Structure 1
Amino acid sequence: MSNDEDVRPGIALTSRHLSLRGAPVIPVSGELHYSRVPRHRWAERLRQMRAGGVTVVASYVFWLHHVERRGEPRFDGNLDVRAFVDEVRAAGLDMVLRIGPWCHGESRNGGFPDWVQQAPVTHRTDDPAYLPLVEEWFGQLAAALGRPELLGIQLENELYDQPGHLVTLKRLARAAGLSAPLWTATAWGGADLPEDEVLPLYGGYGDGFWVDADAPWDPTFRDHYFFSHVWDDPGIGADVRRLHEARLGTPQPRTPSPLFPPATCELSGGMGTAYHRRPWPRALDVATIAHCKIGNGSAWQGYYMYAGGTNPPHTQESHATGYPNDMQRLGYDFHAPIGEAGLLGESHAALRRQHAFLAAFGDRLAEMPSTLPSVRPNGVDDTETLRYALRSDGDSGFLFIAWHQPHFPLPTYRQAQFQVSLGPRALTLPPVDIPAGTIACWPLRLAVGEVHLDWATASVLTVLPGEIPTLVLVASAGIDVSCSVDGVESVVTPGFQPIRLAPALDLLALPAEAADSVWVDSRRRLLLSDDELRWGPDGRIEAVGTGVPSVRVYNGSGFVPLPFHPGPAGFEVAAEFEEVRPAAGTVPVAYGKFEGRQSAPTPETFDELAAVYRLAVPPVTPELDVFLHIEWAGDVGELRVDGRPVTDRFWDGSPWTVNLRDVHWRPGSVLTLHLLPLAAGSTVSLPHEAHQRLLAADAQLLDLTSVRVLARQCFVERTEP
């Protein structure tokens, strides 16, 4: 264990896996910052996370948000951390609190209140003048929390050269009354950690806002699209690590300690947006990294962020606070699976299929180490060598294939054929072409009930219970589905009805085009819907959308409609808008620099140069959630309600959605959209499509293409009395 002082029955940690409630598991944790989400949305976000396959909620506790002025801690409203932890537990999820005291998370001073940042102390060390400040904060936090049932507590964040300080922080937290069976710390960047005190956690991002605007796609990002047993990512936090690197003694190992399983807390759920660099990772980018980590032997899938949010005013990092990146003042969408507005991002579907697999087979997978092939890519520039890995216990296993990366497209890999020795004989799979964009998890000698499936060339999703169990696979585009049982091969046509593969096993192979419509609920029911689905501990499905929901549930022989209670339907209409003030005829190419990176315009400059549009929202009944869907191009956008900024965005080509209820819009409120043009000569880094659009502009780019109003209703599953 990473802690022998707060042992809890039913929770154990080995060098290979975590056990919860006495069974091996591969947890899926998702980061949601309660202080960045309205309190009335907590339960809803947790249902959305649960529907995505998340089993553990992680959250920073930002000292800055809670104690702006010394001696005046606040734990009310959406700062009520105790109520949030209670909500997490009520949702049937476990909780990890990342208590700092330094958190980062793009928060000003890394989360230190200004009065702490300005104190004459050596921060983040055992300085006797600093520790009483931490002790005071931990005491306030512990008093507010009571004694919640936490799965884990993270100490500090991205602390690389102070192992003794981490031990001190643990002692101070425990003395204040904080406890958890797992104490963790971030291990990336060659961190020197106290080996017997904390569980090392790693991360992996395929791109980052923290590198220079003109920097190419860095090898530290590219690494994550390959299978590897190297877990350290030296790129994460590099923007604030430079001061520490000179103090680090000997280089630290980049692979996990043999005492602990490889585990993560910051896999890319998306990516934040800085003014100078604006990555937009797509669903397949995010899913490929997560898939590779599972193939690499991950014992814990942890995402940052899983749900976006909105900063409290004046709390973001910026050039003005000495941070090398200017961040959005309010918006913290992070292109997450659940966006700032509460709408699902495109990555939600891609990740939830992986999480359904972990829910069904995690107890087996946890006992299976990862093996890499003898012939592997010779570096991050290799686009010819197929990327794959095996997780196996020697008798059965899963073959992981990842053949995707952004920025540098991969060709179709021709005639891949795998031979794997497991159990009594070698398995030889048929040769197949692997199209670019393929991520797959194929079963090998998989036991389902009384049947052993030798292999299949489609990804495992789940097993549906029943007198005769149903193994559910999802086909990959461009790859024929075939399988073998007891040496007898069969070709399977994907569809929505099962086939009897053996007397005691049905097989349902879903077509690739249905993959993003697939949901597996907490009762292990298989559902198909293009609407958003979510559920709580009672298991009842909620379908959310702008129209009457269309949800089908598998009944053993096919899919039938799932009944819902009637209710008023939502709608989607174009919003009227008028330009009340044009943008400046010429905007600067740059607004200044800090440490060589472009600075965002000041609020005063923004107000002087931005175009202003007044938006009209049609009448909406109170029970409907109301969203703006904004298609635009430019530089910086800001939405205001009655003159007050409520959220903002740096343009990167992606749509912008805003939940009007959450920004305190009410009928009769004055709603204005402020858009700053982007100069054609700007050197900010944009995704390829956005960059091409900027290149096509004459002098500057500004376009408000459309504004649509989405009014969404929630329909609840009708159950028999």
Structure 2
Amino acid sequence: MKHHHTSALALALACAAFGSHAQQTITVDAAAPAGDPATGYLKLGTAKSSTGQILGVNNRYLTLDGKPWMPVMGEFHYTRSPADTWEAELAKMKAAGITAVASYVIWNHHEAQNGVFDWKGNRDLKRFLQLCRKVGLKAVVRIGPWAHAEVRYGGIPDWVVNGMRTRGNDPQYLRYVTRLYRQIGLQLKGELWKDGGPVIGIQLENEYNLVGPGQGAEHISMLKKLAIDAGMDAPLYTVTGWDGAQYPSGEVTPVFGGYPDEPWAASSTELPPKETYAFRFDSRVSGDLGAQTKSHGRGTAESDIDRTPFLGAEYGAGLPFMYRRRPVVSPDDIASMLPVQLGSGVNLMGYYMFHGGRNPQGGTTLEESTLSGGYNDTPAISYDFQAPLGPDGQQRAVLTYLRPFHHFINDFGSRLAPMTVRKPDTTPSGPTDLKTPRVAVRSAGDSAFVFVNNHVRQYALPTQSLRFNVKLAGGAVAFPRRAVDVPNGAYFIWPVNFDLDGTRLRYATAQPVARLDGGADGITYVFAASGRIPVELALEDTGAAIETRAHKSIEGGATIVDGIEPGTLRALTIRRAGGRPVHVLVLDAEQARQLAIGDFGEKGGQRRLVLTNQQAWFDGGKLQLRSVGANNLRFAVYPALKQTPKATTVLRAAGNDGIFQAFEATLPAKHLQAGFTPLREATDAPPIQKGGFAKAALQPIPEAWRTAAAWKITLPADALKDVDDALLRIDFTGDMARLFDGTRLADDWYYSGYGWEVGLKGLAQRNELSLAVLPLRADAPVYLPKEGRPAFSGKQQLVHLNKLYLTPVYKITVSP
């Protein structure tokens, strides 16, 4: 949903956006050669695995066994998630197209007391990495010592903060960092890349921009030495490159990020258009990413731009809620960043966070807060982050919007990675220019991809009537034949001179998603329609027969296929003498969001396409389906299974859905209700104070909870019988809320209008639940989304428990 704003800047931008726009041809000169990638500058650890694989890096991209390699990395914090769920959650990430998992080692989660380390249960890093290996995911371990991660003291234990100078080469501090690193090294032993394990990278420190004696590049050099001495020998050593980062050039590789809003900002109103939605042609460093320390100098990453590849680590797959600012993001707000970042040259799409979680508790709660000197106030327990996978493993809508892009990267990233960024003849003057089309091209030789973004969070953009003229070494490609209207909110990637296993696709007004080898049945290329933009494919005439139900014509030495109706039937088939057929499948946008790809079938599985509205992932050739609320589960698979599969319930053949073989299952419906009774009424909440480093709204002090309203929650005794889980959704109006499991603080939440869900499986004493809610004051100087801000109707404060929803979660396993 797009929002309208009353600020002068917003009104001016909105007025400009709705001007009249004639047809435009965006011209991009991509004919000049880019030059060969350079190697040898970056000092790597052992690059060869015991299995013989070699991971490399040059100044433009990563390589795997000498070939360009573009991973997709997602952050998942093992200490913020139950250990007995790790394997399934990692498998869900893999099915979502994630190829590498990043995770902080948060020091105060492991050594709350001096010399007493805890690597058991939810803190068992070695087991987490072993499961990454088992599932087939690579790993990047972010070893700190300072992590940030919205954790108390950035993850450094209280006894360290209170006793010595941190984040520099102070001898006392380094003595304890050395001990920590040795402990981490023991956890990583046997799981490093050189040992055949998943760990391909080690991140040192985080958001580090301190300068001075024993700091800056000198400190990062020391941390790298200590890590290596502790046995942490990995191909990549990384540091975050934003906010004026300081590091020793050549010793480490910078990684970058960007977010669609700034929860850490002090503003209580909407922000101007974020540069996250604007293509970058001259820099990799986005604006403020929330580093706790400030730097006014030029970061090392700026001078390293020609020496290092453009790798990401913290592109927001969601946003956290902070007390003073609680922005809610839509799936489009997140997914539209992908064509922008890829079109700007990113060669590793790394997300923070991809999986939400909850903070553990020690002698104190471990969240970042102004009470402990932090810049931000964050929930004590919740680290939901609006992530694609919620803390209880639930799939959010944003995951389905991201997944087609991940499939594209997984299957065609080797083509994209060597391509260099080319700037169009017309570009916006800056992030606040909402009139000029937002376009970029990446090319290598005669092939290219065109990246278009017409979405900016909270701002409407005009419909753009566009054609493209991409000038390549072998000649220009102008397309489509007639300008197409790109509406507000649209974003996509279109190919130019794209190889379809021997047939050149001159262009397509649809996005490539995947390539599937169906054996004797041929090769299938999957595309996704870009909304309602007409699908037009142009194939160069090579003498092959092209079969299609759509309109076909010959123009300029190419076969033009248009009038394609997106769906589950093949759009066309290319037949060449002596070769296997090549099929093109064009799904509509909604079907593309239902597409999961993984190994499913006999003998460990064959790579297949699965269409389903349910949450889907793969495990040892089996298909796992999970459904929140709906007891009817349906999936369709291509290529067809050789025999009717079995399932943990009765599975029915449901005919064919185009080229897909469909199945259905119905589980016994479970109707669950939660009740609540008042324990105490709210009293007048104290005024919200301003202060702290941000000079903004401060979270109420703990004693303010005496003014909270409270309710007892009652659940059915058999709520978890015959279901995978049950999600308790708490619909309340107020400022902050806390859920207690007995006397244990189980979860908490800042009100924003975004739905709060808690899985019952994670609650130990489900018959002793209670809820406390602090009133929301009408004069609270906090940012709430317009659709979430309640009407006070003259009242000074609001507090109400509107409704409790208890939703069953159904699950089946399908075996070949």
Q: Which runs of 5+ in 2 are unaligned?
A: 1-39, 193-198, 541-557, 576-580, 600-605, 641-656
Q: How far apart, CA to CA, are the structure 2 residues paired with 1:102 and 1:43?
A: 27
Q: How far apart, CA to CA, are the structure 2 residues paired with 1:593 and 1:633?
A: 25
What is the match of residue 494 of structure 1? 566
Given the alignment, which residue of 194, 200, 206 partners 1:157?
Answer: 206
Q: Is the 8 A contact 2:240 2:256 kept in 1?
A: yes
1:633-686, Cα deviation, whole Å (9 max, x unpaired): 2211111111321000001110111011113244xx212222222112211011
Q: Is the 8 A contact 1:464 1:525 kept in 2?
A: yes
What is the match of residue 354 of structure 1? 405
Given the alignment, which residue of 491, 512, 534 partners 1:439?
Answer: 491
Q: Is the 8 A contact 1:23 1:363 kept in 2?
A: yes
What is the match of residue 517 of structure 1? 594
Name the SS of the counterpart of 1:15 in structure 2: coil
What is the match of residue 637 of structure 1? 737
Q: How far apart, CA to CA, are the structure 2 residues paired with 1:432 and 1:674?
A: 53
Q: How far apart, CA to CA, are the structure 2 residues paired with 1:88 and 1:296?
A: 30
Pairing of 1:132-531 with structure 2 (within 5 A): 132-149=175-192, 150-160=199-209, 161=211, 162-214=216-268, 216-217=270-271, 221-238=274-291, 240-242=292-294, 245=295, 248=297, 252=300, 254=302, 256-313=304-361, 314-413=365-464, 415-422=465-472, 424-430=474-480, 431-466=483-518, 467-486=521-540, 487-491=558-562, 492-503=564-575, 504-522=581-599, 523-531=606-614
Q: Which runs of 5+ in 1 are unaligned?
A: none
What is the match of residue 614 of structure 1? 713
Q: How far apart, CA to CA, are the structure 1 residues paired with 2:469 and 2:334?
A: 29
Name the SS of the counterpart of 1:130 in structure 2: helix
- Supply the AA of the counterpart residue of 2:710: A
1:431-479, Cα deviation, whole Å (9 max, x unpaired): 1000111111111111111211111111111122234322211112231
TM-score, normalisation: structure 1: 0.93
When structure 1 is superposed on structure 2, of 370-379 and 495-504 the one drifting more is 495-504
1:711 deviates by 2.0
Q: How far apart, CA to CA, are the structure 1 residues paired with 2:225 and 2:301?
A: 26
What is the match of residue 675 of structure 1? 773
- The higher radius of gyration belongs to 2
Q: How far apart, CA to CA, are the structure 2 residues paired with 1:471 and 1:515?
A: 13
Q: 1:61 to 1:251 in 2, by over 3 A?
A: closer
Name the SS of the counterpart of 2:593 in structure 1: helix
1:650 aligns with 2:750: yes
Q: 1:572 to 1:507 in 2, by over 3 A?
A: farther
What is the match of residue 71 of structure 1? 115
What is the match of residue 544 of structure 1? 626
1:423 deviates by 5.4
What is the match of residue 698 of structure 1? 795
1:354 deviates by 0.5
1:359 deviates by 1.0
RMSD: 2.1
Q: 1:531 to 1:665 in 2, by over 3 A?
A: farther
1:569-611, Cα deviation, whole Å (9 max, x unpaired): 4645442223332323x33341554342222223332243233
1:560 deviates by 3.9
When structure 1 is superposed on structure 2, of 95-104 and 596-605 the one drifting more is 596-605
Q: How far apart, CA to CA, are the structure 1 residues paired with 2:422 and 2:234?
A: 33
Given the alignment, which residue of 150, 164, 171 partners 1:128?
Answer: 171
Q: How far apart, CA to CA, are the structure 2 residues paired with 1:319 and 1:617?
A: 39
Name the SS of the counterpart of 1:496 in structure 2: coil
1:490 deviates by 1.9
Q: 1:423 to 1:601 in 2, by over 3 A?
A: same
Q: 1:663 to 1:20 in 2, by over 3 A?
A: farther
Size of the aligned set, in residue pairs, is: 705
1:311-344, Cα deviation, whole Å (9 max, x unpaired): 0121111011111211100000011111122211
Q: Is the 8 A contact 1:369 1:392 kept in 2?
A: yes
Q: Percent identity?
A: 32
Q: How far apart, CA to CA, are the structure 2 residues paired with 1:367 and 1:30?
A: 22
Q: 1:253 to 1:11 in 2, by over 3 A?
A: closer
Given the alignment, which residue of 604, 610, 613 partners 2:703?
Answer: 604
Q: How far apart, CA to CA, are the structure 2 residues paired with 1:253 and 1:153?
A: 18
Q: How far apart, CA to CA, are the structure 1 residues paired with 2:164 and 2:473?
A: 64
- Supply the AA of the counterpart residue of 2:763: V
Q: How far apart, CA to CA, are the structure 1 residues paired with 2:45 and 2:72?
A: 25
- Supply the AA of the counterpart residue of 1:540: K
What is the match of residue 3 of structure 2? none
Name the SS of the counterpart of 1:241 in structure 2: coil
Q: How far apart, CA to CA, are the structure 2 residues paired with 1:336 and 1:534?
A: 17
Q: Is the 8 A contact 1:32 1:305 kept in 2?
A: yes
1:100-142, Cα deviation, whole Å (9 max, x unpaired): 1111101111110001101233x11112222111111112222
Q: How far apart, CA to CA, are the structure 1 residues paired with 2:303 and 2:677?
A: 57
Q: How far apart, CA to CA, are the structure 2 residues paired with 1:705 and 1:473?
A: 44
Q: How far apart, CA to CA, are the structure 1 residues paired with 2:173 and 2:467?
A: 60
- Supply the AA of the counterpart residue of 1:296: S
1:5-41, Cα deviation, whole Å (9 max, x unpaired): 4232511111121112443211111001100101111
Q: How far apart, CA to CA, are the structure 2 residues paired with 1:177 and 1:115?
A: 26
Q: Is the 8 A contact 1:694 1:701 kept in 2?
A: no
- Supply the AA of the counterpart residue of 1:714: K
Name the SS of the counterpart of 2:285 in structure 1: coil
- Supply the AA of the counterpart residue of 1:445: N
Given the alignment, which residue of 685, 689, 697 partners 1:587?
Answer: 685
Q: 1:426 to 1:435 in 2, by over 3 A?
A: same
